[in-house]
Amino acid sequence: MPMRWSMRYLAPDPTQWRGRADTPPDSCFFQAVHMLNLLEDPPVEAIRPTFAIVGFRCDEGIRRNHGRIGAAEGPTAIRHALARLPLQKKTADCFDAGNIICTDGDLEASQHALGEVIAILLQQKINPIVLGGGHELAWGHYQGITQVFPKKNLGIINFGSHFNMRAKLPNNQGTSGSAFLQIAEAHKAESRRFDYNCIGIQHAANIGQLHQTAKRHDVKIIWADELHQGQLEKVVDFIDRIIDQNEIIYLSLCMDVFSAAFAPGVSAIQVLGVSPWHIIPLIRQVAASGKIICYDIAEMSPRYDFDHHTSKLAANLIYEFIHHHNEHPRPW
């Protein structure tokens, strides 16, 4: 009997990893990323830092949330941009582990499939980097994390303008806006500590009810205003607290945290978003802790992009994840 996740799995496409023919060997991602077909080549346990890119080609959560669709094409655009970037870190292995798709509207099945793939990778000490797709990917990503690490103290960092703690729809279906409330409720059901940390939240991007929900679940917040105002010491201390109080960390980044000047190709554009240089030092800080096990980037929508600004920014963030990810200590 085929594995359930395999029905929603697409093997990696090597044609998405192309670059200049005159590039010296071992210089760029397109030369270093290896194809990993999980149906044919089950991964072996990593003995040094290893990253696997997984696409979540899905717009269903955004559609249910009445957003503008198009993020299902994000993984392809980000791969194309990443392929041409230099890979300076010679002590890490990088794989493309294919995509999870959602073409039939069954978001829950695709989230479950993503969770199964994440669990396969984590069990082999491989750090997933999931490319969305809508931010509903977080609920699927989390399912894989909790399957492998059901007892470890987990810190969750969400770089984004929204809390994404909306209630599920009346038919009990989740959306791109509900993922972190679903995670909170899962923690409550299992009597687990919930440590959810949001950076870049916009006051005007969340209705009052969502602010109340965040308060009820003790969500820790760095507002976009605080980043704009240069409150660096507060933000550094905020990250240090997450690192100190958790054994493992899951970092999720929605491209709508950035201003439209930097990221026009997103599902929900932000005119008052932050700049990349508000976020990159924080990524470097938490990645250097050695406690991050998973990364993801959500809601990059190529059809709204301009001159590939957003896909190139997303690719540069992956560059930061990989090059500042500290393998000592490893949280396995």
Give me the half-sphere count of Cα atoms (radius 13 Å) on the Cβ side of residue 152.
Answer: 18
pLDDT at 2: 45
Its pTM stands at 0.96
d(CA 226, CA 235) in angstroms, rounded, equals 8
pLDDT confidence band for 331 (50 / 70 / 90): confident
CA 64 distance to own-chain centroid: 20
In whole angstroms, give the CA distance from residue 38 to residue 28: 24
Pick from 40-44, 52-56, 247-251, 298-302: least confident: 40-44
What pLDDT shows up at residue 42? 87
Interaxial angle between packed helices 107-123 and 137-148, expressed in degrees from 0 to 180 and rounded to the nearest 10: 40
Residue 1 above 60 pLDDT? no
Could you tell me which residue, 1 or 272, shows the higher pLDDT? 272
pLDDT of residue 329: 66
Mean pLDDT for the stretch of residues 49-55: 96
Whether the pLDDT of residue 53 is over 80: the answer is yes
* Band (278; pLDDT cuts 50, 70, 90): very high
pLDDT in tens, 166-216: 999 999 999 999 999 999 999 999 999 999 999 999 999 999 999 999 999
Pairing status of strand 220-223 against strand 292-298: unpaired
User: pLDDT tens digits, residue range 55-103?
Assistant: 999 999 999 999 999 999 999 999 999 999 999 988 899 999 999 999 9
Q: State the average pLDDT over residues 222-230.
A: 97
Mean pLDDT value across the chain = 96
Flag whether pLDDT at 260 surpasses 70: yes
What is the per-residue DSSP string for 270-303? -TT-B-HHHHHHHHHHHHTTT-EEEEEEE-B-GG
* 161 and 254 Cβ atoms separated by less than 8 Å: yes
Render pLDDT for 102-128 as a digit per residue (tens, 0 to 9): 999 999 999 999 999 999 999 999 999
Q: Average pLDDT, stretch 254-275?
A: 96
Report in angstroms the alpha-carbon separations of 75 from 32, 97, 123, 133, 298: 18, 12, 23, 7, 9
Which tens digits make up the pLDDT trace of 306-321? 999 999 999 999 999 9
Q: Band of the pLDDT at 41, cuts 50, 70, 90? A: confident
Q: Which domains does the chain have, with CATH numbers?
A: 4-324 (3.40.800.10)
Question: Residue 237: CB partners within 8 Å, gap ≥ 6?
Answer: none
Q: At 101, phi and psi to the nearest 5? A: -115, 165
